[in-house]
Structure 1
Amino acid sequence: MNNQPQPPESPQPMPPAPQSAPMSAPPMQQQPVMLPQMPVKKGLSKGALWGIIGGSVGFLLLIIVIVVVLLLNMGPSKEDYRQAVSWMNDESSKLNSLQYSSVRNPEAYKETVNSAIKSRDELNDKLSKSKIMHDKAVKEAYDKYKKAYDVAKPEMEGLSQYVEVYSEVRKKCDNVFYLGHISKKPDEVDKEVSQKYGDCTSLMQKLSKSNNSNVANFGKEWSDYYTSLKKYYVEYARAYTSGNFSARPRRPIEPSTTGYTLITNASRKVTDSGMDRYYNDFSSVVNQKLTALR
């Protein structure tokens, strides 16, 4: 059995041949990376800083101005009209008291006049600053009244002075009469007239220097009149004593302006100014505006 042929032996696998390790490349030298440089920030210049501050302040002021303008241009409220009506109602009684004041008490009348003017000036000041003036119709009515008041005011201020002149003239010039020129000599008449009319002529000379043109003209007219009147008396006495009656002079004519007409003329100018009429028109407009808001 040993002579039987044996199957050939299977060839043994050959171990894989060892692979040669790859040759490693020589290490490359690392180059430094250049990073981009950022620009260095510099501080703001003083000019730029002040420009920013100025711009901010200017912008803030602009906002404030806009707010103020909006507030000022807001239409008047019902309370604004009610307040104006209340002011006018309180003041009107003071001004109307002028017509009930007696001119025979100059000091009391002067106090009443000055109080009335002060009260009206205060009213005008409050009205002019009131929001009701933002209404066109109200403003137009007020402007017409105020223009008339500015014309009337100097005459109103003169009233107290005219009353004082009226009172002084009544005391020193009224009821002064002289009849001695019929029977006395010229030199005696000259002396007596100077004595009798002395206080009156001195008053008129003082009035002629007044800062009030109406009073100054009044004083000058009457001062000239009394000078002419004295001359008349003396010349009349001279003609009478000489028996030359044809030489008797003509008596001078008294001036038309008196202490009382100073008062009435001023009162007429106040009326002619239209102050009361325009004031009533203005008051009506304000009351109508108030009624419309109720």
Structure 2
Amino acid sequence: MDNKGNNTNSTPTPAATVPEPRVQPAPTQPVPQGPAKKKGMSKGMLWGIIGGSIAFILLVVGIVLAVVLLSGPSKEDYKEAHDKVTKVRGTYLRVGSAFRMVSYGTSTASTDKIKESVEEYKKSVDDLKDMKALRDKDVKQKYDDFIKQNNEFTAMVGDLADASDELLETTKNCRAATTFPRFSSDRSKLLENYDKTVGSCVSAVKKLAKVKSQLLSEEAKKLVDAFDEQRGIVEEMQKAHDAGDASGLSAAASKLYRQLTKFKAGDAPKKLNEAFQKAEVNSQLNALGRVLTEKANQG
């Protein structure tokens, strides 16, 4: 049998294609990053904060000061100020007392006391500038009046204190030199005895003439001139005595007496007291004390 007809030449059916499993891509892992930088504060913002803080502080301080200043001094402020003025008055009186003792050469006179009293006075005056009562215009006016006069006074006593050693030496030595009665007892030695009697006084006065204080130096120079004039008259007396000229001796003695009277009338202690009176601060100090008392007693 011819099998051609049945022998179908067919193409074999290909096997079903099995799909390959789809491989999913691995998820991308995040790449680790370094720590993020903190954003810095701008300079403008920083200065703005600082400026604002300062302005706030100044505002608070300004308000506090305004309240304090506008409120005026209290009664206690006036009383405290009055106590300080009373202390100044006490130190002021001690300065005058110390100088008077030195100018008259008393036994209790001390240059240390002068210097200590002047410094004590200056310190007590300096303490007045911190008085709360000075916020009161009336008190401030009286205080300014006092300070103006006090500047003259402290300048004067400061110079006097610097010259206190020379001043005390002069007053003690010159007080001991009672010229005419002592040196004229032995007329054969008038000039010699005169020089012995007043020599220490003249020497001290010449030192005093060189001090810084204009008041003392001017008075001392006048005294030096007076002593020169006085010695010249004594020389006349000595010559008249040696020559046996009784009328000449009498005339010279009368001239010496007049010179001594003039000499005593213009002595340094008197000038010193006059200078103190001119520069005194007592009236201004009392006026300041009175206004403080009135203010403390108001209301």
| TM-score when normalising by structure 2 | 0.65
Contact 2:191 2:238 in 1 (8 A): no
Aligned pair 1:166/2:163, yes or no? no
Amino acid at match of 2:267: T
Between 249-258 and 136-145, the greater mean CA deviation after superposition: 249-258
Contact 1:76 1:131 in 2 (8 A): yes
Partners of 2:136 and 2:142 lie apart in 1 by 10
Structure number with greater Rg is 1
User: 1:84 Cα shift?
Assistant: 1.8
Superposition pairs of residues 23-172 of structure 1, within 5 angstroms: 45-46=42-43, 48-49=44-45, 51-67=47-63, 69-73=65-69, 74-96=71-93, 103=101, 104-107=106-109, 111=113, 114=115, 116-157=117-158, 158=160, 161=164, 165-171=170-176
Which residue of structure 1 aligns with residue 7 of structure 2? none
Partners of 1:126 and 1:97 lie apart in 2 by 18
Q: Which runs of 5+ in 1 are unaligned?
A: 1-40
Contact 2:173 2:200 in 1 (8 A): no
Aligned pair 1:266/2:275, yes or no? yes
Partners of 1:126 and 1:207 lie apart in 2 by 34
User: 1:137 Cα shift?
Assistant: 1.0
Which residue of structure 1 aligns with residue 282 of structure 2? 276
Aligned pair 1:179/2:188, yes or no? no
Which residue of structure 1 aligns with residue 226 of structure 2? 225
Amino acid at match of 1:77: S
Deviations 1:191-245 (A, max 9, x none): 4443343212211211111222222222222222222222222233334444665
Amino acid at match of 1:69: L
Indicate the SS of the match to 1:223: helix
Deviations 1:48-103 (A, max 9, x none): 24532552354145325414532551411122112223333455445445677772
Q: How many residues align?
A: 243
Partners of 1:99 and 1:205 lie apart in 2 by 25
Between 91-100 and 231-240, the greater mean CA deviation after superposition: 91-100
User: 1:259 Cα shift?
Assistant: 3.8
User: 1:105 Cα shift?
Assistant: 3.5
Aligned pair 1:205/2:214, yes or no? no
Residues 59, 79 of structure 1: CA spacing in aligned structure 2 closer, same or farther, 3 A cutoff? same
Amino acid at match of 1:169: C
Which residue of structure 2 aligns with residue 288 of structure 1? 294
Contact 2:88 2:125 in 1 (8 A): no
Indicate the SS of the match to 1:210: coil
Contact 2:91 2:124 in 1 (8 A): no
Indicate the SS of the match to 2:140: helix
Contact 2:95 2:117 in 1 (8 A): yes
Superposition pairs of residues 228-239 of structure 1, within 5 angstroms: 228-239=229-240
Q: Identity of paired residues, percent?
A: 19
Indicate the SS of the match to 1:253: helix
| TM-score when normalising by structure 1 | 0.65
Between 65-74 and 135-144, the greater mean CA deviation after superposition: 65-74
Indicate the SS of the match to 1:200: helix
| Structure with a larger share of its residues in helix | 2
Amino acid at match of 2:139: V
Between 77-86 and 250-259, the greater mean CA deviation after superposition: 250-259
Contact 2:95 2:121 in 1 (8 A): no
Amino acid at match of 1:105: S
Partners of 2:282 and 2:225 lie apart in 1 by 38
